[in-house]
C-alpha cells in the first residue's frame, strides 16, 4: 500500500507500511501473506477514490472525511481483533486495514445512492462506453504515469537506503512517514484546486480558475516555507518520536533536512536531495507551460 486508504492523500487510516515488517525480520512466507492481503485492498482504494472524487466534484469535501473517520475507527478495532484473538501477527494488521477499506467503500456507496444529488446507479452504468472511457483515460493515464514514476523513484531510494545498512534504511522509512504527514496540506490543496478549477473552466469562468490557482499557490508556498524553517530546528526530536535509536534519529534528521536543501556532510543528504531536485524539473516545466498558455489563450479557451 502506498500511504493510506485513499492513496491520493495521507490519512490516519493508513495500513502498516509494508517495509516496516520486512525490516523487522519476518519470514518470507509471512511477508508474502502480508503483501498479498495488502494488495487485495487495492480495488477498495480505487473505488473509494472514485466515489470521493464524485463528492468533491459536487462541492462536498466533508463526506469523504467522514468516510475516512469511519475507516479509521474500523481499522483500529479490526487490527486489535485480528492481531490479538487469532494471533495473525502482521497478516492480521493487513486484514484489518483491508476490511476497513471495504467498509469505507460500502458506507460511501450507501450515502451517495441515498442522497438526492441526481446520481443514480443502474445496470447499464456498468457497461463500458467508448467515449466516456476515452475522456477518462485522456486525463487518468497521465496522472497514473505521474504517480507511478514518483513511486518507482521512492522504491529506488529505498533500495539505496537498504544497501547502506539498517540504520539508514530505518531512517529513510521514518522520514518518509514524516514527509507523508507534512504533505497533507499540499495534497489537500491539490484535490481542492482540481475540483474548483475544473468547475470554473467548465462554467467558462477562466478568470476565477486563475484566481483559485493564485490563492492555492500562496497557501502552499507559505506553508512550505514555514515547514522548511521549522524542520531545520526540530528534525532530530521529530525523527526521535518514531524511534529510540539515537543513530537512526541523527541519520534521519540529516535526510529530513536535505528536503529543505541544507547541506550536512556524512549524512543521507545526497539521497534526500533527490526528491526536491526531482520536483524542481516538473515545476519549471509547468510554470513554462502556464506562461505560454497565458499568451496563447485562444489555444485552450474553448476546451
DSSP assignment of 178-201 equals HHHHHTHHHHHHHHHHHHHHHHHH
Grid cell of 127 as nine digits: 457497461
- Asked if residues 30 and 90 have their Cβ atoms less than 8 Å apart, the reply is yes
Query: Cα-flanking dihedrals φ and ψ of residue 235, to 5°?
Result: -65, -40
One digit per residue, pLDDT tens: the chain, 303 residues? Answer: 334 444 444 343 444 444 444 444 445 677 788 888 888 888 988 888 888 888 877 778 788 888 888 888 998 888 888 877 666 777 788 888 888 889 988 988 888 778 766 667 777 777 888 888 888 888 888 888 878 887 887 787 778 777 777 887 888 888 888 888 888 888 888 878 887 888 888 888 888 888 888 888 899 889 988 988 888 888 888 888 888 888 888 888 877 777 654 444 455 556 556 566 666 777 777 777 777 777 766 655 555
Calculated CA dihedral for residues 202, 207, 210, 215, nearest 10 degrees: -110
Q: Which residues contact 15 (CB under 8 A, 6 or more apart)?
A: 1, 4, 5, 38, 41, 75, 93, 94, 97, 98
pTM: 0.61
Q: Which residues contact 83 (CB under 8 A, 6 or more apart)?
A: 89, 92, 93, 96
Radius of gyration in angstroms for the set of CA atoms belonging to the chain, rounded to a whole number: 21
- Asked if residues 87 and 95 have their Cβ atoms less than 8 Å apart, the reply is no
Amino acid at each position: 500500500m502506498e500511504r493510506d486508504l485513499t492513496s491520493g492523500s495521507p490519512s490516519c487510516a493508513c495500513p502498516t507500511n509494508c517495509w516496516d515488517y520486512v525490516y523487522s525480520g519476518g519470514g518470507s512466507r509471512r511477508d508474502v501473506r502480508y503483501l498479498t492481503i495488502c494488495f487485495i485492498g487495492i480495488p477498495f482504494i480505487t473505488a473509494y477514490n472514485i466515489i470521493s472524487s464524485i463528492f468533491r466534484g459536487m462541492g462536498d469535501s466533508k463526506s469523504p472525511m467522514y468516510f475516512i473517520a469511519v475507516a479509521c475507527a474500523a481499522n483500529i478495532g479490526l487490527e486489535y481483533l485480528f492481531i490479538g484473538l487469532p494471533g495473525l501477527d502482521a497478516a492480521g494488521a493487513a486484514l484489518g486495514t483491508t476490511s476497513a477499506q471495504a467498509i469505507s467503500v460500502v458506507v460511501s456507496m450507501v450515502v451517495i445512492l441515498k442522497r438526492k444529488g441526481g446520481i443514480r446507479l443502474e445496470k447499464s452504468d456498468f457497461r463500458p462506453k467508448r467515449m466516456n472511457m476515452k475522456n477518462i483515460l485522456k486525463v487518468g493515464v497521465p496522472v497514473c504515469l505521474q504517480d507511478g514514476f514518483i513511486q518507482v523513484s521512492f522504491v529506488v531510494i529505498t533500495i539505496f537506503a537498504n544497501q547502506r545498512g539498517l540504520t539508514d534504511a530505518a531512517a529513510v522509512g521514518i522520514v518518509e512517514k514524516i514527509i507523508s504527514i507534512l504533505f497533507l496540506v499540499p495534497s489537500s490543496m491539490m484535490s481542492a484546486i482540481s475540483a474548483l478549477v475544473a468547475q470554473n473552466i467548465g462554467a467558462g469562468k477562466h478568470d476565477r480558475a486563475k484566481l483559485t490557482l493564485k490563492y492555492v499557490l500562496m497557501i502552499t508556498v507559505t506553508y512550505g516555507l514555514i515547514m522548511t524553517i521549522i524542520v531545520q530546528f526540530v528534525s532530530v526530536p521529530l525523527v526521535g518520536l518514531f524511534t529510540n535509536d539515537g543513530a537512526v534519529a541523527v541519520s534521519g534528521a540529516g535526510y529530513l533536512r536535505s528536503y529543505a536543501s541544507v547541506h550536512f556532510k556524512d549524512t543521507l543528504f545526497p539521497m534526500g536531495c533527490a526528491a526536491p531536485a526531482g520536483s524542481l524539473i516538473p515545476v519549471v516545466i509547468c510554470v513554462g507551460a502556464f506562461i505560454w498558455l497565458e499568451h496563447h489563450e485562444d489555444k485552450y479557451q474553448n476546451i
